[in-house]
Amino acid sequence: MLPNKRPDDMQRITTPELANAFIDEQVKQIRAQVGDKKVLLALSGGVDSSVVAALLIKAIGKQLVCVHVNHGLMRKGESEQVIEVFGKELDANLIYIDATDRFLDLLKGVSAPETKRKIIGGEFIKVFDEEASKLKGISFLAQGTIYPDIIESDGVKAHHNVGGLPEEIQFELVEPVRLLYKDEVRVVGKALGLPVNMVDRQPFPGPGLGVRCLGAITRDRLHALRKADAILREEFDNCGLASKVWQYFIAVPDMKSVGVKDGKRYEGWPAIIRAVNTVDAMTATIEEIPYSVLNKITQRITSEVEGINRVLFDLTPKPVGTIEWE
């Protein structure tokens, strides 16, 4: 097991050479810790769990069992990328669970943000536990804990929380990136050959689009949100903003306004653009998006996304607004 404190003399991993040295060292340590036993990992597709998965695949191959739970609140293409990269390219032992209906049924009619979060977090652990109980011969649980998680909390991520597993299945932890900062995890991920868009992914809240489909989630509004969000990301990619802006997304509130389309009254939801820059997410400023880009996004969303009839740009810094709307 790695220590809880990062040694004062530990060099910051900034280059592929340093990343490769770290990878070689961790591969040895993981093999020594795990032997010929099996390891389970909840693979969300986020930066940390993806890098841990790639590291473990390199060290122990098929002894790693990855479980990807699709809660139906992922951004467009994200679950598909997990299957493509880990299931196909890296030939991992990957169990994919589409739990969309379970999550959306439980969330039906629930509008309070904290209740939505609790339902999503609780159900995630339940689905993962059910899968873990079915598997035989698992001895270890891998987690994408990184150093800020240890400094800022008790060291265990809520969504990968071993404390949430039933008593009869308690595992020893494998946490190969627990002493690394986020930027170092990204350098290691690139050295492991993971796709750049996976390694440089923006932070995505555990409850996913659930906190951006404001109020009580409905399938049609969630679908519209996912589509509008994909257009925003495409246009940010096209104009070079994707690599510059810290976090950007669409939120769709649970209200309609009157509009006009094809000469007829058209009631629809507004899509709200949020694009913020920050260092630590405690405060945030607004990116000044060129008007031409805003116009293009507005034109595309209102013509391509069924159910949306207005596009708004949120100019509120944090404070006073939080980054997410819920």
Q: Distance between CA atoms of 14 and 286, rounded to whole angstroms?
A: 28
- In the complex, least distance from residue 155 CB atom to ligand XMP, rounded to whole angstroms: 15
User: Does 145 sit near ligand XMP (CB under 6 A)?
Assistant: no
Which residues, numbered 243-282, are part of the site for ligand XMP (CB under 6 A)?
Answer: 247, 281
Contacts with 168 (C-beta within 8 Å, 6 or more apart), sequence order: 133
Nearer to ligand XMP, 124 or 140 (CB): 124
Q: Distance between CA atoms of 283 and 261, rounded to whole angstroms?
A: 39
Q: Where are the beta strands (DSSP E) in 156-256?
A: 172-174, 247-251
The tokens of 311 are what?
């596009």
Angle subtended at Cα 70 by Cα 66 and Cα 74, rounded to the nearest 5 degrees: 120
- In the complex, least distance from residue 207 CB atom to ligand XMP, rounded to whole angstroms: 5
- Which residue among 45, 176, 207, 215 contacts ligand XMP (CB under 6 A)? 207
For CA atoms 94, 53, 48, 33, give the dihedral sign. positive
Nearer to ligand XMP, 38 or 157 (CB): 157
Q: What share of the chain is helix, strand, coil (3-state, %, to 5)?
A: 45, 20, 40
Instruction: Produce one character per residue of 267-299: b if its CB has 16 or more CB atoms within 10 Å, e if not.
Output: ebbbbbbbbbeeeeeeebebbebeeebeeebbe
User: Does 162 sit near ligand XMP (CB under 6 A)?
Assistant: no
The footprint of ligand XMP on this chain (CB under 6 A) covers a number of residues equal to 11
Nearer to ligand XMP, 86 or 204 (CB): 204
Site string for ligand XMP, 284-323 (x = CB under 6 A): ----------------------------------x---xx
- In the complex, least distance from residue 23 CB atom to ligand XMP, rounded to whole angstroms: 26
Which residues, numbered 85-124, are part of the site for ligand XMP (CB under 6 A)?
Answer: 117
CA 186 from chain center: how many Å? 14
Nearer to ligand XMP, 205 or 270 (CB): 205
Which residues, numbered 32-61, are part of the site for ligand XMP (CB under 6 A)?
Answer: none
- In the complex, least distance from residue 115 CB atom to ligand XMP, rounded to whole angstroms: 13
Stretch that binds ligand XMP, among 23-31, 55-63, 128-136, 200-208 (CB under 6 A): 200-208
Half-sphere exposure of 95 (CA within 13 A, CB side): 17
- In the complex, least distance from residue 318 CB atom to ligand XMP, rounded to whole angstroms: 5
Identify the residue whose tokens are 């820059």: 277
Q: Is 1 exposed, middle or buried (0-12, 13-18, 19+ CB in 10 A)?
A: exposed
Stretch that binds ligand XMP, among 12-20, 23-31, 204-212, 231-239 (CB under 6 A): 204-212
- In the complex, least distance from residue 250 CB atom to ligand XMP, rounded to whole angstroms: 13
The tokens of 70 are what?
């699709």
CA 273 from chain center: how many Å? 19
- Site residues (CB under 6 A) for ligand XMP? 117, 203, 205-207, 247, 281, 318, 322-324
